Amino acid sequence: MSLFNTTYDVIVVGGGHAGSEAAAASANMGAHTLLITMNLQNIAQMSCNPAMGGIAKGQIVREIDALGGYSGIVTDKTAIQFKMLNKSKGPAMWSPRAQSDRMQFAECWRTMLEQTENLDFYQDSVNGLLFDGDTIAGVKTALGLEIKAKTVIVTAGTFLNGLIHIGEKTFGGGRAGEGASTGITEDLVARGFEAGRMKTGTPPRVDGRSLDYSKMTEQPGDDAPEKFSYLPITKPLAKQRSCYLTYTNPEVHDLLREGFDRSPMFNGRIKSTGPRYCPSVEDKINRFAEKERHQVFVEPEGWNTVEIYVNGFSTSLPEDIQDKAIRSIPGFENVKFFRYGYAIEYDYFPPTQLKHNLETKLINNLFFAGQINGTTGYEEAAAQGLMAGVNAALKVQEKEPFILKRSEAYIGVLIDDLITKGTEEPYRMFTSRAEYRTLLRQDNADLRLTEKSYKLGLASQERMDRVEEKKNKTQNLIDFISNLSITKEEVNPILESKNLATINQSMKLYKIAARPQLTFSDFRSIENLENYIQENSIDDEIIEQVEIHLKYSGYIEKEKSNADKLNRLENVPIPSTFDYSKVKSLSFEAREKLSKIQPTSISQASRISGVSPSDISVLLVYMGR
């Protein structure tokens, strides 16, 4: 079968985190898929830090896993350390994070993709798109091939007209040592798309043998590490590698300032916006001049390499300044560089030009995913890739699009934020962006999403069976605790040991278990409860679900009720042909924003900045409410 006479169902342009998840999803749904990337050796490369997850990002990786994506499995198989962040806060804030072995991560991804049916690979640079009227028809490559496709997903990362900056030096590239991609932006702009520029940066990589760890604070992984994937094919880590923490100081800051006149960030050469929540070190000392020190995390790049990622020291300052300043950080006095930090500028397309299924509004069957949509981070990219892959396959199969609501997943929040509000700076997910974060916890992503994925044909029967078992065992244990009476003789010793008020008559266990100072493990000494747990093979995952239910059921029910109210507005559709210019009682700003974004429902319209509650009332009247 030749590339010259094949029409693919889906072509995925780019083999980063978004492209890899997109290719896996569409192929697993039965679509004949081609993944085109500039270098097959660099599939799913961790271009920046060697880690997956973190605040809100860990929830996204769990959601990708529940939906049948590969990111969670690959992370588990290649992790060198695991941590559950925010454990001191409520469960809505708990966020898993893993350090990965960078080389193993990319290798594992490639192996999993090669074992995926319906997926072909081709190494070449895509430098143009083929159109049939206002519908995508395929891609053009640097070698001059024209490859036909029913749908195309562009996941170009930082490669579209990528420009690398180190001090006063500038050269084209999409990543250190790799060329930029040209042609796609120009084709799309000619078709009426609006494009912009964004910036991101990366820190130096150094030789771990040249560091003095005795001057740093060790940061080990969790004593009882968990994992990302809900499948039993991955196991928690038995051994882990530590990271280390050190700090900058006023001397480091003064040395860095010496290079500000040669910094592309301050001398006007970089005009685009960088990520607010992951600023360069020069940006930090400029914006937070009153702070005397900033954290620097020393992260190993893998099990068997001496290469170290200097997290917190992202910079595009000249090499001599990087070299001089970093030596004043405790532990870095004799540092040897593997490579210097740099900034990269690249093209993106404001995501208000997309529909909820990540298809472009201007060109049918053309999808965007990842940094091309203005996001930052592997996890955000992978989530979009998965959703674009699913929706491209559904488009080919002439089925309804798959869209997640804000109350169903962080992925739903991410995509809705992008297409409804747009973004002027690299978008990063936080728990605070999700109004229903008590519902969208990392522990229940499988309960929320597996059934949806199973219906799509992505989640396996094994996944579905495990979710059903988890659901049933959780409910049965809740029922058991709700009906189990315990005597004061059984429970008072537990309460006394915690200096809590005792009881003077028998009581249902769930009433006492709901007290915030107590954990489930405190009650394991109660014989009836322990017997039930043993006889029914109740594992820690079930116990965690039950404990969260006992402590937070009031909050969870309130959020569900709020979500249901909003979902009723979600069901009030706005016709795509609706002419806002005729509705004179709308504010001028609302008319302008609504006409541009073309929301599909009253609920989406209500989230557009500049559209007021009174504008929504007007729309409800027009929609026949």
- The residue extents of the domains of the chain are 205-341, 461-556, 572-623
Mean pLDDT value across residues 584-607 = 88
Which pLDDT score is estimated for 625?
53
Mean pLDDT value across residues 348-369 = 97
Which pLDDT score is estimated for 516?
84
Which pLDDT score is estimated for 615?
85
Mean pLDDT value across residues 103-112 = 98
Which pLDDT score is estimated for 572?
85
Tell me the three state secondary structure of residue 30.
Answer: coil
Residue 254 φ then ψ, to 5°:
-65, -40
Mean pLDDT value across residues 480-506 = 89
Mean pLDDT value across residues 106-131 = 98
Q: Are 49 and 299 in contact (CB under 8 A)?
A: yes
Known binding residue 14? Answer is yes
Known binding residue 279? Answer is yes
Which pLDDT score is estimated for 571?
78
Q: Are 329 and 281 in contact (CB under 8 A)?
A: no
Known binding residue 430? Answer is no
Known binding residue 72? Answer is no
What band does 4 get if pLDDT is binned at 50, 70 and 90?
confident
Known binding residue 283? Answer is yes
Known binding residue 422? Answer is no
Reported CATH class of domain 461-556: mainly alpha
Known binding residue 400? Answer is no
Residue 1 in this model has a pLDDT that exceeds 70? no
Which pLDDT score is estimated for 584?
87
Which pLDDT score is estimated for 594?
93
Known binding residue 617? Answer is no
In 10 A of CB 516, how many CB atoms? 6
Known binding residue 415? Answer is no
CA 483 – CA 277 distance, rounded (Å): 48
Which pLDDT score is estimated for 564?
85
Known binding residue 282? Answer is yes
Known binding residue 330? Answer is no
Q: Among 108-112, 353-357, 376-380, 548-552, which stretch is predicted with the lowest mean pLDDT? A: 548-552
Known binding residue 407? Answer is no
What band does 321 get if pLDDT is binned at 50, 70 and 90?
very high
Known binding residue 426? Answer is no
Which CATH topology does 205-341 take? Answer: Elongation Factor Tu (Ef-tu); domain 3 (2.40.30)
Known binding residue 501? Answer is no
What is the residue-averaged pLDDT of the chain? Answer: 93
Known binding residue 595? Answer is no
Residue 525 in this model has a pLDDT that exceeds 90? no
Tell me the three state secondary structure of residue 351.
Answer: helix
Q: Among 15-24, 373-382, 430-439, 445-454, which stretch is predicted with the lowest mean pLDDT? A: 430-439
Known binding residue 534? Answer is no
Residue 253 in this model has a pLDDT that exceeds 80? yes
Using a 10 angstrom Cβ sphere, with 0-12 exposed, 13-18 middle and 19 or more buried, the burial of residue 460 is middle
Q: Among 184-193, 447-456, 509-518, which stretch is predicted with the lowest mean pLDDT? A: 509-518
Which pLDDT score is estimated for 286?
87
Classify the C-alpha dihedral 119-116-179-72 as positive or negative.
positive
Known binding residue 277? Answer is yes
The residues facing 375 across adjacent strands are 427
Tell me the three state secondary structure of residue 359.
Answer: strand
The residues facing 310 across adjacent strands are 298
Expressed in percent and rounded to 5, the helix, strand and coil fractions of the chain are 40, 20, 40
Known binding residue 573? Answer is no
Known binding residue 241? Answer is no
CB contact burial 461-494 (16+ within 10 A = b; e otherwise): eebbebbeebbebbeebbebbeebebeeebbbeb
Q: What confidence tens digit (pLDDT) does each residue in 24-73 have?
A: 999 999 999 999 999 999 999 999 999 999 999 999 999 999 999 999 99
Residue 617 in this model has a pLDDT that exceeds 90? no
CA 99 – CA 102 distance, rounded (Å): 9
Known binding residue 286? Answer is yes
Known binding residue 190? Answer is no
The residues facing 508 across adjacent strands are 485
Mean pLDDT value across residues 580-591 = 89
Known binding residue 203? Answer is no
- Run of H or E residues at 561: helix 540-570
What band does 289 get if pLDDT is binned at 50, 70 and 90?
confident
Known binding residue 497? Answer is no
**One CATH from 3.40.50.2300, 1.10.1670.10, 3.40.50.880, 1.10.150.570 for 572-623:** 1.10.150.570
Known binding residue 15? Answer is yes
Residue 551 in this model has a pLDDT that exceeds 90? no
Q: Are 165 and 269 in contact (CB under 8 A)?
A: yes
